[in-house]
Amino acid sequence: MTVLFLCTGNYFRSRFAEVYFNHLAASEGLAVRATSAGLEERCHTRNPGPISPHTLAGLRARGIDAGVLRPPCDVTAADLAAADLIVAVKEREHRPLLARRFPDFTERVRYWHVDDIDQVPPPQALARLEALVRDLIAELAAPAP
């Protein structure tokens, strides 16, 4: 199973969700893997460097190594089609981007409500993502009815 986390620039929120999810899934022995991408076209040009220093600090504070850092990547229709579960981290921000770029996928997406750092301090956003990712891991680990 593949989970795809989406945010605007694939720099802060979706990258934290991806790495944190994969860490928890591995520790739980779940056969699920997360990836992440940005909804803004050419998102790799939006931010300095491969990943937010806030994301790195949040992962380090949780004892998690971010691993090899890659540049932010734009989501593609193929990425969306290949994912078993798609999570956009901020509905108000990301539903319109999805509707504009990938209208056929807007209803396949699970929307969360995690603000970016222009709205809340990074530790608050990361704590919210941490709780949501933990809930998602618990949901996926639960036995099927």
Domains and CATH numbers, the chain: 2-141 (3.40.50.2300)
Q: Which residues contact 138 (CB under 8 A, 6 or more apart)?
A: none
Structure tokens at 13: 């929120």
Give 99's contacts (C-beta < 8 A, 6+ positions apart): 106
- pLDDT (tens digit, 9 = 90+) per residue, 73-126? 999 999 999 999 999 999 999 999 999 999 999 999 999 999 999 999 999 999
Name the residue type at position 92. R
Q: Euclidean distance between the first and final Cα of the chain, in Å?
A: 18
**pLDDT of 144 above 80:** no
Global pTM?
Answer: 0.96
pLDDT interval class at 45 (50, 70, 90):
confident
CA distance 51 to 53: 6
- Res. 20 pLDDT band, cuts 50 70 90: very high
Q: Taking the CA of residue 61 as centre, how many other CA atoms within 13 Å lie in the half-sphere pointing to its CB?
A: 12
Question: Are the beta carbons of 13 and 132 closer than 8 angstroms?
Answer: no
